[in-house]
Amino acid sequence: MLSRIVSVAAIALCAGPGWATPKVDMDCAAEPGSPSSCVPMVGCIGNDGDYFTGRALGWNEGTLDGQTRAGVICVGGWEISALTGEGHAAFECDDGTAGVATMQYQDMQTGTATGRGYTADGKLLEIWSGHNIRQFLMDREGSVDGKLTCGDQVIPVS
């Protein structure tokens, strides 16, 4: 089950000021029912300012890929039930970081889902995917003007 699991991508434990900042690609095209459907995703790790951006591909199950703030590449899989709107995502990064999250659809047609989980070393994961990310961020405690913050870092959601 964890081999195919929703929108988590990347997590790095070391973020530094010298790396290019990954940005959420909101142009990723959702195609309801299609295995080539694509939704953007973003997530936080703990409260230290670590975050990741990427995309989830597929419909009700698929793959995910992304990049951490430090530039580490991560891949994984996801699955979510169209009946219950609940699922799981799992990922592993080039630096050995791995994690699992439980996901919940907020809006199936746009692929918008939220999730929480943990990295293998026990850091909290918070994940958002889909084309309505901003709408859900507006209601999130700690967001300012719909901006997602991970610790003191603002994640660039275009």
Residue 83 lies in a domain: yes
Residue 121 belongs to what domain range?
38-150
Q: Give the best-scoring range by mean pLDDT among 14-18, 92-96, 152-156.
A: 92-96
Q: Is the pLDDT of residue 134 over 80?
A: no
Per the CB < 8 A criterion, the answer to whether 93 and 72 are in contact is yes
Residue 99 lies in a domain: yes
**Is 0.95 surpassed by the pTM of this model?**
no
Please report where in the chains the tokens 């939220």 appear, as a residue: 114
Residue 55 lies in a domain: yes
Residue 155 lies in a domain: no
Instruction: Give the separation between CA 28 and CA 77, rounded to whole angstroms.
Output: 17
pLDDT digits (tens, 9 = 90+) for 55-89: 999 999 999 998 888 888 999 999 999 899 999 99
